[in-house]
Amino acid sequence: MFKLIQNFLLDTLFPIHCLYCQKYGEWVCQECTQKISILPVQVCPYCEKTISPNGRICPKCKDKFLAKNEIWPIDTLVVSAKYEKGGISRLVHCFKYNFIPELGEILAKIICQAFVFHNSPLPDLIIPIPLHSRRLRWRGFNQSEILAEYISQNLTPGFPLPVISNFLLRKKYTSAQMKIKNYQERQKNVRDIFALSPPSPVIGRGAGGEGEIIKDKTILLVDDICTTGATLLEAAKILKSAGAKKVFAIVIARQEIKKK
């Protein structure tokens, strides 16, 4: 009875309406949901110019990293939809900053559609990008974890893929990337922010600090929005160093920013 009264009051004071067409009753109505289209092609995740199957790094950019004795750690990056003001960008903003976790299911459906459309390889494990504990307390939920859980249950219906939310640790509290407009500053902001969580039976850390649970495994790294790719890059470095065989990444959309 209390729950019914609570829902009635919330519905009266803060009525749910479609964020696209304002129709009452749903955050995104069926008609507007069908209008959201996934990106038909993917590009190189580094230069963002060359069309590349599944979002693999293009040969030219790969050579740039090899020239610096570095290896791009993300095997593919699939961007699900176009980042449009008033569209996907608004949904993500309301999801994260208006604290509407119900939008996670709608956004995760878009990710699943893109995953299947681009014929991405099935992972052994799904790992969401972690939040710092301080930001997690403030928001009350990790948006990437909500996305990962839906993907786990719906990408292979009846055979949920394992989600490991406590393998990566965000060890530094940093400014939100959306508040930083400079490309280089964004990269600097997330440099070395991740580490492996302390050893525990839950995450299966082995001797020597290696993550036995991800060793030789194919990982799907999930985040909401990608801009420079720096956050995903830092996470992929840690996963590869812990023994992951492949690290594929997928996001809802990618926000453009000038590389200065």
DSSP code string of 121-159: PPPSEEEEPPPPHHHHHHHSS-HHHHHHHHHHHHTTTTS
Q: What share of the chain is helix, strand, coil (3-state, %, to 5)?
A: 40, 15, 45
Average pLDDT over the chain, rounded to an integer: 87
Other Cβ atoms less than 10 A from the Cβ of 146: the count is 21
pTM, to two decimals? 0.87
- Each domain of the chain, given as residue ranges in start order, spans 1-35, 39-254
CA 8 to chain centroid: 33
Whole-angstrom distance, CA of residue 173 vs CA of residue 118: 34
- Least trusted range by pLDDT, from 30-44, 68-82, 141-155, 206-220: 206-220
- φ/ψ bin of 94: left (φ > 0), alpha (ψ from -120 to 50), beta (otherwise): alpha
Are residues 64 and 236 in contact, defined by beta-carbon separation less than 8 angstroms? no
Query: For residue 64, how many other CB atoms are within 10 A of its CB?
Result: 15
Better-predicted residue by pLDDT, 188 or 113: 113
pLDDT in the model for residue 5: 55
**CA–CA dist 107, 224 (Å, integer):** 9
Model confidence at 222: pLDDT above 90: yes
- Residue 114: partners with Cβ closer than 8 Å, 6 or more residues away: 38, 39, 78, 79, 80, 81, 250
DSSP 248: E
Q: Has residue 181 got a pLDDT over 80?
A: no
53: phi > 0 → left, psi -120 to 50 → alpha, else beta; which?
beta
The confidence score (pLDDT) of residue 78 equals 97
In this predicted structure, the answer to whether residue 246 has a pLDDT above a threshold of 50 is: yes
- Under DSSP, is residue 161 helix (H, G, I), strand (E, B) or coil? coil
pLDDT at 211: 59
Q: Which CATH architecture has domain 39-254?
A: 3-Layer(aba) Sandwich (3.40)
- Give the rounded percent of residues in the chain with a pLDDT score beyond 90: 64
